[in-house]
Structure formats: C-alpha cells, structure tokens
Amino acid sequence: MSNARSVPAHLESLADSLRKTTLRKLFASDHQRAAALTRSLHLGDAELMADFSKQLITGEVVDALVAEARSAGVESLRTDMVSGRAINSTEGRAVTHMAMRATSDLTAPDALRAEVNEHDQLMRAAVDAIPAGIRDVVNIGIGGSDLGPALLCDALASMRKPVRDVRFVSNIDPVDLDRALEGLNPAHTLFVVCSKSFGTSETLANARRAIAWLVAGGVTRPGDHVIAVTAQPERVASSGIPARYVLIMPESVGGRFSVSSPVSVAVALAYGCDALGEVRDGMRTMDEHFVRTPAADNIAMLLGLVWWWNSTVLGFPTVAVVPYSRVLALLPSYLQQLIMESNGKSVSRDGEAVPVSSPIVWGGLGTNAQHAFFQLLHQGTHVVPCDFIGHSMSLGSSGDDHDTLVANMFAQAQALAVGVTADEVGGDTALRAHRTTPGNRPSTTLLFSKLTPRALGALIALYEHATFVQGAMWNVNSFDQWGVELGKKLANQVAADMGSVAEDMKGTPSVEHDASTAQLLQQHRVWRSGR
C-alpha cells in the first residue's frame, strides 16, 4: 500500500446506477434483499444481527467493495497489526489494542500477551487490595482516558450491581471536579488518575486539586487514595502526584483504543474485574470474527466498507449514530473520538493529500433524537446515513415499553428508507409537498438479542475495527493525532500570557498573538481582574 487512493471507475459507475434507483425499488425487485445483506454473529450470551439492507448497496456493490478492500491492502494491514509490526508509521509504533483482550496468537503475538497478562495481574491485585472503606471512585482523565471507562460504567449500571460508586471528571473547567466531589468523604474516596502520557494539563491540574481536597479533608497519606494509569510511569514520579499503585498501559495502545487496557480500572473498581473481563471476552469474540472471517461475511469489515462507500463514493459527509438504549447514551461521544481522531486526516501515510477521509460523526439517543434532529434526517436537504443500535430484551423494568422503544427504531429506519410519496400522503393538496418524505436515506441496523457486557464489548470492538478498515481504505494512519497538538501548545502559551496559570503551563514562553486573540485576552484580563 503506498499512495493516497482515488475511487476506481467501476465503483463510481455502480454508484451512478444506484443513484438512478431507490431503496423502495430495490426491496420491491428483490425479495431476498433483506436476508442477503444481513450478517449475524454469536457472542456467547447474546446474538448480533447486522442488517445492511437499508444501505444504498447491492450484492454487486458488496463484492466490489470487498475486492477494493483487498487491493487497498486492508487485510494485509490487519495481518501486520496482529503480528505487532509498527503500522503507526509516524510514531514508529505497533498497534496492539487487540492484545489487551487476546488469549491466542490469532489476535496478538505470544510475547505481547505475556506482558499484558503481567500488567493485568497487577491491576487485579490493586483492585483486590483497595480497602472496603473506599466507597467512591473518581476517575480523572480526558479523551481516551475518560470516554471508554465512562461508557462502560454507564452501561454496566443496568447490567451489574456496583461494588462502589464511580464518577468521572475530565474537563479543566473547575465546575467538573467541584460537582464530582460534592457529597464525597475524602476518607472513603479513591482517585484514578488516568493519562497515557501523564502530561495532559487538564488531567494533571484536576489531579492536583483532588490531592489538595484529600489533604484538606484530613487524609494524611493522599497517595493511598490514588491509582495512576499511564504508559509513562516515570512521569508519575516526577509529576509530584503521589500514587499507591501505578498501572501500566502499553505505549502501542492508542488512547482512543484503550478501553480494554488498565485505563478501565475504574470499571473493575466499580463493577468488579469479572465484569470488565466479560466486556473483554465480547471484544475478543469480535476481534476473532474480524481477523478470521472472509470479508464478505465480516461484520466489522462490512461496517467499515459501508461507511467508506457512503462518505467517499456516494459523497455523504456525516454519519449519525443513534442508539436506542439509554445505557448507550455515551456511545456517540465515544465514537466521535474513536473515529474522528483516528481518521480525521488530510494526508496519506506517505504525506500525499487525500481528497476524502473521516465523515463527521454525530448522533444522539433514540427516541429523544427523534424529537430533536430527526426532522432534518427525514426531510432536510442533507442525506445523513445512520447507524441504529438496539437490543430486543429490556434492561429496564418494562418489557412492553422497551418493545415500544425498539418499534420506534425500526419505524425510523423504515421511514428513512421508504419515505412517503405525495399520493400516499393524500389529504389537503396544499400540504402534500410539506408532508412528503423522500426516503432513500440509508441506514444500518445493529440489533442485539440482549445487551450483555459481552455484547457491549463486541459493539465497541466492532467500531474499532470498522475505524481501522476505513483508515486502511484511505491509506491514512489511523493511530496518530498530530492535529490536536497545535491547539494544546497554543493553550499553554495563551495561559502563560494570562498570568494566572496552572502548574503544568508555567514557564511557557509568551508568543505574539493574532489581533483577535490578543483582543480577547485583553478583555478577559480586564473582566478577570474585576475592573
């Protein structure tokens, strides 16, 4: 794989022929369509049905996408990833998130698994050693050091009984930590300071305030109330943040791919190591499916290829992810980081411009989203492909209401695909144009029999792999994130110029600001000083 890739002519011509038809016609002309474009996977204690039939694809498109994936080298890149080759080329690192849950060399090399097991044993020992008196856990971290464990904890709350309460603090906005600490007793509180780099200013500032809160609350050995998680243990020591346990995540696991690493120790503290183990089991099931299933039947491969088809060939610039499950409320935010931080790139691995890369990922919870942005999905001028995610068995106390929830999900996908014509609308002629919905708007439905910790893990791994597949199709490096560095650097410089700055920002040299920034800075100084 070398250059930035353009869309081959035969895919463009398949897209042109699909533009001349509609989903309505495709379903009418092929009664096997739904079954033919659906794939299933057994997840141990749950089943997954992935229905791609409401996408603007045909069997011929699937075959062409699979062939295109082969010529793009997706499968060989996957082999390189599994074998531990440094496919994160700009950082010279292997990409080893699958090793965090691997039990065989199918998904990670033996030596790596041995190292991971060692770190995992340390995590289990730390969790087991936490005194019963610790009743509350506060995870301090941001990005991948927050979103994954927060998603898991929020979801597991309806599946497993918590051992401890857990809260999440990510933002440097002091309100975030203030609110998280409300009602907590320092003597009974444990902080997980989670930062792969142990250099993220928001996390370190919040951690220092948390330590000060412990000390002010009479805790004489604050380090006993801190677990640090990082790939840079020596920075924990030099940060001055005391920690009883320092858990290690490998440098080769990207922050946004780190949910199955010790980054999720808060999950183990709140719901037990076994619950986290079940999530990892589900991830491994998806990993093994991804690694060994031929592309045409590979749900992760197809999900990634369909996203690529929609953005790159059909030209739809955004995707809405809509879980119909309260416990997946944090999934859209989680996926925003996973997908956009991975594939929001403008150059290929070789530094050549790529014309299209990651779609903009957004979304929200069904049915709430129906009463917010669905009007645009149905009748707006943008076509927004959707991923609908739901499960048949309720996690709440009413199966009937859950059925209504699922019915809404099916109905929305149907309305988007089929629409309603002016003739079908009938009634007042003047209103017909307003009441017509065009249909032909693509979606995938991921339906689980039930959402167990394993199913949740499989869902997360599914999107990890779909992200990988898209990155490989565009030939971008999905595992670096240089774009976020400039903003971080400038934030440090602006903060230094404000005078009142956090410890980690001190000493950053002042720079010349553009006129707008200088003006904002000046106004802020005035308002901040109360003049």
Binding site for ligand F6P (CB under 6 A): 142-145, 195-197, 200, 203, 255-256, 341, 481, 484
Question: What's the first-to-final CA gap in the chain, in angstroms?
Answer: 60
Place of tokens 């000493």: 507
Q: Is 318 exposed, middle or buried (0-12, 13-18, 19+ CB in 10 A)?
A: middle
Is 20 known to be catalytic?
no
Closer CB to ligand F6P, residue 165 or residue 251?
Answer: 251
Q: What is the b/e burial string over 104-140, where b = at least 16 CB atoms within 10 angstroms of the residue's CB?
A: eeebbbeebbeebeebbeebbebbeebeeebebbbbb
Q: How far is the CB of 378 from ligand F6P (least distance, A)?
A: 34
Closer CB to ligand F6P, residue 197 or residue 318?
Answer: 197
| Of the candidates 144, 347, 181, the residue with the CA atom closest to the CA atom of residue 256 | 144
Q: At what angle do helices 9-19 and 59-72 cross, to 10 degrees?
A: 160
Angle, CA 199 vertex, CA 194 and CA 205 arms, to 5°: 75
Q: How far is the CB of 133 from ligand F6P (least distance, A)?
A: 29
Is 341 known to be catalytic?
yes
Q: What is the DSSP letter of 353?
A: B
Q: How far is the CB of 334 from ligand F6P (least distance, A)?
A: 11
Tell me which of 488, 489, 506, 524 is the catalytic residue. 488
Q: How far is the CB of 230 from ligand F6P (least distance, A)?
A: 8
Closer CB to ligand F6P, residue 52 or residue 334?
Answer: 334
Q: What is the DSSP letter of 182?
A: T
Tell me which of 341, 378, 402, 464 is the catalytic residue. 341
Q: How far is the CB of 447 from ligand F6P (least distance, A)?
A: 30
Sequence-separated (6 or more) residues with CB below 8 Å from residue 37: 51, 52, 53, 55, 57, 59, 62
Closer CB to ligand F6P, residue 137 or residue 159?
Answer: 137
User: What does the DSSP assignment read for 196-215?
Assistant: SSS--HHHHHHHHHHHHHHH
The answer to whether the beta carbons of residues 303 and 444 sit under 8 Å apart is: yes
Bridge partners, residue 227, by sequence: 192, 245
Q: How far is the CB of 466 from ligand F6P (least distance, A)?
A: 19
Is 450 known to be catalytic?
no
Closer CB to ligand F6P, residue 155 or residue 340?
Answer: 340
Closer CB to ligand F6P, residue 187 or residue 484?
Answer: 484
- Enumerate the active-site residues: 341, 371, 488
